[in-house]
Amino acid sequence: MKLCELTAHELKDMLRKGETSSREITESVLDRIQEVEEKVKAYVTIDREGALKQADEIDEKLKQGEQLPPLAGIPIALKDNMCTKGLKTTCSSKILENFVPPYDATVVAKLKENGAVIIGKTNMDEFAMGSSTENSAFFNTANPWDLTTVPGGSSGGSAAAVAADEAVMALGSDTGGSIRQPAALCGVVGLKPTYGFVSRYGLIAFASSLDQIGPITRDVTDCALLMNVICGHDPRDSTSADVKVPDFTRFLRNDVKGLRIGIPKEYFPEGINPEVEKAVINAGKLLEELGAEIIEISLPHTDYALADYYIIAPAEASSNLARYDGIQYGYRSQDYDDLIDLYKKTRSEGFGPEVKRRIMLGTYALSSGYYDAYYLKALKVRTLVKQDFDRAFEKVDCIISPTSPTPAFKMGEKVDDPLAMYLSDVFTLPVNMAGIAGISIPCGFSKEGLPIGLQVIGKPFDEGTIIQVAYTFEQNTDFHKRKPEL
């Protein structure tokens, strides 16, 4: 097995025993990128020189006998909406095509402090708006399991890179499912932490009350290791929660005895792919056999969550994206008559169609005369969605559901039908609305050989329970061990 195919925890042990070096691991990943990147197109920027330099520094410290953190020397990819000092951060948008941040996002600084090797920046739906990575201003990313299908989105580049062995692990961001849905479609593990558990400082904002950074990894153990690094209070993020961060590896226990797991009846609607439904039901049966109690629950406001999300998220996007006006940084139109014309042309030329669609939706919802009818009402419905989960968690310890209603769909299949595309996030976005945690793990394959994801949803700041359930399921199945043939 090549080094690039191993998990972070396997590589960590090999590094400590002197069986390999960080440079060898990093070169293995870079060689793999060279081999398959033309087919997958996971990366917007690859920092070969910087990665090898970081790897050599780690190897030097290991030679000196230094005790290093668990992720030291492990190559990681970052979604291209996290600021990296001196390295381009584009949000896969023409408007930020040449933007080089003067500072690191908090998660990036934490990774560097822990010795992780940053390989590069991954492709995404522009400004994280999309479910297929087809809204990137640069190119489409392909799903490594079938290059004619999408990898999901908006963190499609990160999920595809991990699935294709082009990164050992990656970070994505999740506003309505953008970590979990691509993780499901690419057959890897993706966790959206509780809102406020991971600092958003240096994450380029889409919808500030929904955005959250989280790990995309090969297995649950790697997920726990990465969570240990990125979680924690940050005074530079006013929404960062000041709560104690546990050692998530303590929850890597193959045991669900006595746990009460809810299955929401609203998450199996008419029209759900039968193979997805069967795989998730079977996953529930397995957890029951392993000692968990499966309880049917109801989340009655689920039907309203999708419409609600598509008022709140675009409203926040409209406000956040007002800063891209061609004045201080980013793209500026060359041909304009006056200031208003400069704004109009810069934004018309710099933003793609989906971003424009959401800015217009959001601006409309916030406009005078419509604010109360749409935005204010949406905030009240959001409270009802959150209360559904609060009530459910009085009866159960966690909830399982499909991550995505379908396996990966064909490229171009939903591009001209925004509503069909938005439905891809129907099972993931209520978790963001409620500000709670959710993880997606592989739980089966379609007859076409495409991965299917199981979502485990937990109480606020109870990532430990969903990691335990996900780990137990993983230890008793082999779905996470299968790899796409490229």
Over 90: is that where the pLDDT of 51 sits? yes
* CA-closest candidate to residue 431, choices 408, 405, 398, 409: 398
**Tens digit of each residue's pLDDT (9 = 90 or more) over 322-369:** 999 999 999 999 999 999 999 999 999 999 999 999 999 999 999 988
DSSP state of 326: S
Please tell me which residue in 28, 132, 154, 424 is annotated as part of the active site: 154
Measured CA to CA, the distance from residue 172 to residue 156 in angstroms comes to: 9
Name the strands in the sheet holding 189-192, side by side, starting at the edge strand that comes first in the sequence. Answer: 43-46, 117-122, 75-79, 169-173, 213-217, 189-192, 437-445, 451-458, 398-402, 260-264, 293-297
Rounded Cα distance between 390 and 21, Å, is 47
* Token couple for 20: 């390999």
pLDDT in tens, 243-281: 999 999 999 999 999 999 999 999 999 889 999 999 999
**Hey, how many other C-beta atoms are within 10 angstroms of the C-beta on 66?**
11
What pLDDT sits at residue 188?
98
CATH architecture, domain 3-260+396-481: Alpha-Beta Complex (3.90)
Q: Which residues contact 120 (CB under 8 A, 6 or more apart)?
A: 43, 44, 45, 46, 47, 51, 77, 78
Confidence of residue 420 (pLDDT cuts 50, 70, 90): confident
Six token digits for residue 52: 């090898």
The whole-number pLDDT of residue 246 equals 97
Quote the tokens at residue 352: 């793609």
- Known catalytic membership, residue 154: yes
Structure tokens, 304: 């309203």
Set 22, 28, 41, 79: catalytic member: 79
Domain residue limits, the chain: 3-260+396-481, 302-377
In angstroms, what CA-CA distances link 288 with 113, 296, 372, 457, 477? 41, 13, 46, 17, 14
Given a cut of 90, whether residue 319 has pLDDT beyond it is yes
Determine the pLDDT at residue 1: 87
Band (66; pLDDT cuts 50, 70, 90): very high
* pLDDT of 163 strictly over 90: yes
Dump strand ranges (E) for 282-344. 293-297
Sign of the torsion angle spanned by Cα atoms 203, 205, 208, 211: negative
**Rounded Cα distance, 90 and 336, in Å:** 24
Mean predicted confidence (pLDDT) in 283-307: 97
What average pLDDT does range 458-484 have in this prediction?
98
Average pLDDT across the chain, whole number: 97
Calpha distance 151→415 (Å, rounded): 14
Could you read off the pLDDT of 302-313 as tens digits, one per residue?
A: 999 999 999 999
Query: Residue 28 catalytic?
Result: no
Q: At what angle do helices 274-289 and 463-475 cross, to 10 degrees?
A: 90
Reply yes or no: is the peptide bond before residue 154 cis, omega within 30 of 0.
yes
Q: What is the pLDDT of residues 388-415, one digit of tens each?
A: 999 999 999 999 999 999 999 999 999 8
Listed in sequence order, the DSSP H helices in 218-301 are: 220-230, 274-289
The one-letter amino acid code at 362 reads G
Q: Which of 178, 199, 404, 424 is catalytic?
A: 178
Active site residue 380: no
For residue 27, what pLDDT is reported?
Answer: 98
Listed in sequence order, the residues at least 6 apart from 85 whose beta carbon sits closer than 8 Å to its beta carbon are 101, 102, 103, 104, 108
Q: pTM for the complete prediction?
A: 0.97
Beta strand pairing call for 293-297 and 260-264? parallel
